[in-house]
Structure 1
Amino acid sequence: MMRSENMKKVKNWKKILLSVFIVCVLIVGGVFGYAFYKLNKINTVEISKTDDMLGINSNALSESENAKGITNIAFFGIDRMDANQKTSRSDSIMILSIDSKNKKIKMSSIMRDTYVKIKGHGQTKITHAYAYGGAQLAINTINENFNLDIRDYITLDFFSFEKIIDTIGDVSINIKQDEISPMNDKIVEISKIEKKSVSKIIKPGLQTLNGLQAVAYSRVRFTEGGDSRRIERQKTVMSLIMTKIQSLGVAKFPAVVSELLPYTETSLSSMDIMKIGTKVLTSNTTTLEQDRFPVDGYSVGKTIDKVWYLVADMKTTIAQLHNFIYKDIKSVPKTIQ
């Protein structure tokens, strides 16, 4: 149960993060001067780009040299509900790989409870890296433990997630009976934090949800079906968001971008985003693929010093992650007898 509970959080941010990125990318196809002006609204945070500070070793550089045309960026969804909160764990940890060779955008999710070494903090959950040292240490931790070459990141929090949904418009979702009570609990929790009044869900069926309600829906943890049901809820919300963004049309992108970008934090400069956007557009990269690591069957839940961790077969996990990113090969989960 504990492992299932902790696995549930992994995909909270996947498509909303990608949606924001795609908005940035697609606007590049419009008016470049205006796009550049709007991109300057992003909260840009400088981080050290030295290999040592980023945890990039020679093996990672050798791997990336063998994979020309692939750009890796870290995406973090942090569990901060208050925009003024300074430190937070990364509720979701993902690697966005722009693969222009195979014309794909790949999302690799790393389980937040994975037992790894964090520089200066010993062995603990990978989710703590962001709280200990922000994006800089979080990137270092991913690179050192998974032998990668990530140099940039984008971060969103629950506060931003809610505002993005409200910006693009409400979403319609079919709520099931067993989701009502836990969803209302989340609505109350978030409403108190945001100091606003939001209607609870009173019956099952098709509902039109605002940003706060949609966040509550995607955060529901305990229903029949466990992790797979939670993931389906998240995929439902994110797919609706993607559809809305893609249906806006090029003419409306500048206005939408001006609203969405202030909710992001990134080490990417406006010029970086323009270059990446051009790369995606010119290579006609349209396919989205996703995978989760460690792959099922290659990790076990262990209690160490009274704390539950997900302990992975790291050698195999690194190979599987690299196969997905660099060789376009997805691993098959191992069946446990």
Structure 2
Amino acid sequence: MEEQEYTRRSQRPKKRRLRKGRALFSLLLLCIIVLVGYSVMQYRSGLELANDTKVAQEDFSGDTVKGDIENYLLLGIDSRGEEKSRTDTMMVLSWDKKTNNVKLVSLMRDIYADIPGYQSYKLNTAYYLGGVQLLKETISNMFGLPIHHYAIIDFKNFESLVDILAPNGVEIDVEKDMSEKIGVALKQGVHNLNGKELLGYARFRHDAEGDFGRVARQQKVIEALKNEVLAPQNILNLPKFVGAAQGYVTTDYSSSGEIQQVLKMVSKGKVKIEKATIPIEGSYQFKTFSHAGDSIVIDVEKNKAFLSEFLGMKLE
């Protein structure tokens, strides 16, 4: 009798522990359900917000990926509701999937380039004449650089995406007062800029540095936005941001493929971006053409050699 009583008593603490374990598991499960539900709702909210606002999908034939490096042509345009527009921002993001190294190359829009099927003109005119495919062919023919994918965003949509991701603004050290032809007035110093202000900062070029200064600021903005995406305080904003990006950003990827590529990059660890600008220093001169205006004539071979070394890939 005493043995039975002892056995029953000895089993009670185990039952209490079991109940506590079940309670904790149930609470954890509930938190996961709530978080998933919130994420889905925010994602759909982002999709609805961006409904029918992105740049139209274009025919695009990317180069075949050979090896571990993939190159993405990133374009920013100011459509203003017009059917045709020039590219205000042209960048090539190069991702080495083996090392997770990310390199960003800005292409000056005034580079004098041979445009297939047309006379030579400024590089940003290629998009106006034949869309992303013609611009891709112009860049590939000029530098032997393979382009595997593309992404386009209209500047108005860029403003909205920034405000969704970082509703309290993106911290930027504004190096001087800026206001001319950017739609906002920025003061020198460190400020949290909203979407419209951040775009204005990235587009400012009315100083002695001109387009070269603007390209440097665009790269600075990309770095700041990368940090905002990875910042812990913005985790709850990410589902809505991703949903809106599906509507605001035009790419040759499917929605799921686009998300998977970004997740692959982020999951491999801290993303550090190395940056460069074409043309490189000492490889260009300014020249005025009657049909193209003030342009940048570059030493193609010198810039091609730099690109090959910087990206770590052989260019044809």
TM-score by length of 2: 0.71
The amino acid across from 1:317 in the alignment is N
| Equivalent residue in structure 1 for 2:297, among 311, 320, 324 | 311
Distance across 1 between alignment mates of 2:245 and 2:77: 17
What is the aligned partner in structure 2 of residue 20 from structure 1? none
What is the aligned partner in structure 2 of residue 295 from structure 1? 280
What is the aligned partner in structure 1 of residue 68 from structure 2? 69
Question: 2:88 matched to 1:91?
Answer: yes
- CA 1:295–1:274: 2 relative to 1, 3 Å: same
**Secondary structure at 1:93's aligned position in 2?**
strand
Contact 1:139–1:151 (CA under 8 A) maintained in structure 2 = no
Count of residue pairs brought into register by the alignment? 267
What is the aligned partner in structure 2 of residue 140 from structure 1? 137
| Equivalent residue in structure 2 for 1:213, among 191, 194, 197 | 197
> Residue 230 of structure 1: CA displacement?
4.6
Contact 2:107–2:277 (CA under 8 A) maintained in structure 1 = yes
Contact 1:44–1:267 (CA under 8 A) maintained in structure 2 = no
The amino acid across from 2:150 in the alignment is Y
* 1:248-278 deviation per Cα after TM superposition (whole angstroms, max 9, x unaligned): 4544421222233322111111243244235
> Residue 106 of structure 1: CA displacement?
0.9
Question: 2:103 matched to 1:106?
Answer: yes
Contact 1:43–1:262 (CA under 8 A) maintained in structure 2 = no
Contact 2:108–2:211 (CA under 8 A) maintained in structure 1 = no
Contact 2:158–2:195 (CA under 8 A) maintained in structure 1 = yes
Structure number with the bigger relative contact order (C-alpha 8 A, sep ≥ 6) is 1
Distance across 2 between alignment mates of 1:70 and 1:128: 28
- CA 1:251–1:219: 2 relative to 1, 3 Å: closer
What is the aligned partner in structure 1 of residue 254 from structure 2? 269
- CA 1:171–1:119: 2 relative to 1, 3 Å: same
> Residue 323 of structure 1: CA displacement?
1.7
- Uncovered stretches (5+) of structure 1, i.e. residues with no partner: 1-29, 189-199, 329-337
Question: 2:179 matched to 1:183?
Answer: yes
What is the aligned partner in structure 2 of residue 159 from structure 1? 156
- CA 1:204–1:218: 2 relative to 1, 3 Å: same
Contact 1:100–1:285 (CA under 8 A) maintained in structure 2 = no
Contact 1:105–1:285 (CA under 8 A) maintained in structure 2 = no
What is the aligned partner in structure 1 of residue 147 from structure 2? 150
> Residue 139 of structure 1: CA displacement?
1.2
- CA 1:257–1:162: 2 relative to 1, 3 Å: same
- CA 1:109–1:256: 2 relative to 1, 3 Å: same
Distance across 1 between alignment mates of 2:115 and 2:205: 28
What is the aligned partner in structure 2 of residue 78 from structure 1? 77
- CA 1:263–1:34: 2 relative to 1, 3 Å: same
Contact 1:172–1:209 (CA under 8 A) maintained in structure 2 = yes
Distance across 1 between alignment mates of 2:267 and 2:115: 38
- CA 1:274–1:218: 2 relative to 1, 3 Å: closer
What is the aligned partner in structure 2 of residue 286 from structure 1? 271
Contact 2:75–2:87 (CA under 8 A) maintained in structure 1 = yes
The amino acid across from 1:318 in the alignment is K
Once the two structures are aligned, what percentage of the paired residues are identical? 28
TM-score by length of 1: 0.67
- CA 1:261–1:43: 2 relative to 1, 3 Å: farther
- CA 1:111–1:44: 2 relative to 1, 3 Å: same
**Secondary structure at 1:186's aligned position in 2?**
coil
Distance across 2 between alignment mates of 1:44 and 1:98: 25
> Residue 219 of structure 1: CA displacement?
2.6
The amino acid across from 1:218 in the alignment is A
Question: 2:106 matched to 1:121?
Answer: no
- CA 1:237–1:139: 2 relative to 1, 3 Å: closer
**Secondary structure at 1:265's aligned position in 2?**
strand
> Residue 235 of structure 1: CA displacement?
5.4
- Uncovered stretches (5+) of structure 2, i.e. residues with no partner: 1-34
- CA 1:75–1:206: 2 relative to 1, 3 Å: closer
> Residue 34 of structure 1: CA displacement?
5.7
What is the aligned partner in structure 2 of residue 321 from structure 1? 307
* 1:155-188 deviation per Cα after TM superposition (whole angstroms, max 9, x unaligned): 1122122212222223455667x62xx5165327
- CA 1:102–1:237: 2 relative to 1, 3 Å: closer
> Residue 312 of structure 1: CA displacement?
1.1
- CA 1:129–1:297: 2 relative to 1, 3 Å: same
| Equivalent residue in structure 1 for 2:225, among 241, 251, 254 | 241
Distance across 2 between alignment mates of 1:115 and 1:45: 27
